[in-house]
């Protein structure tokens, strides 16, 4: 059974693509596109999974992820981080911040679906 995904991404084409493939697979999808209040939105929406871009207006995905992990209300929410920058340094930063899964752009539809399905606790 599919759950609720919050996509925090500022690129309209990526938002549309991810929303489409997840909705088609039965997920309820909410989107948000700036980093400034992203942590508040995660708290308010209480998603099963967060898909988080690294480069967002106002705040980096790494900072948002650290705040999510430091907050008892959001610390256990699985986070799939997306980035156009796939260097090992980026992956290490994400892992240190507590990412659940890391994926580089461009990605395939099946990669995103498989990653989100794998992050849902059974």
| CATH assignment of the domain containing 76 | 3.40.50.2300
Domain enclosing residue 44, as ranges: 4-119
| Segments of the chain with pLDDT less than 50 | none
Model pLDDT, residue 122: 62
Asked if 30 contacts 9 with a C-beta cutoff of 8 angstroms, the reply is no
* Rounded Cα–Cα distance for residues 74 and 51 (Å): 14
Model pLDDT, residue 1: 56
3-state secondary structure of 88: helix
User: Sheet of 28-32: strands edge to edge?
Assistant: 28-32, 4-8, 49-53, 79-83, 101-104
> Per-residue pLDDT tens for 58-73?
999 999 999 999 999 9
Identify the bridge partners of residue 104 per DSSP, sorted by sequence position: 83
Model pLDDT, residue 85: 78
The domain tally of the chain equals 1
Asked if 29 contacts 121 with a C-beta cutoff of 8 angstroms, the reply is no
The pTM of the full predicted model, rounded to 2 decimals, is 0.95
């Amino acid at each position: 059974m599919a759950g609720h995904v919050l996509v925090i991404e500022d690129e309209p084409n990526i938002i549309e693509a991810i929303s489409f493939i997840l909705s088609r697979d039965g997920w309820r999808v909410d989107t948000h596109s700036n980093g400034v209040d992203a942590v508040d939105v995660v708290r308010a929406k209480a998603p099963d999974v967060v898909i988080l871009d690294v480069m967002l207006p106002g705040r980096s995905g790494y900072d948002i992820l650290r705040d999510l992990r430091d907050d008892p209300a959001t610390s256990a929410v699985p986070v799939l981080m997306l980035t156009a920058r796939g260097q090992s340094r980026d992956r290490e930063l994400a892992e240190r911040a507590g990412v659940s899964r890391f994926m580089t752009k461009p990605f395939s539809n099946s990669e995103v679906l498989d990653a989100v399905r794998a992050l849902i606790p059974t």
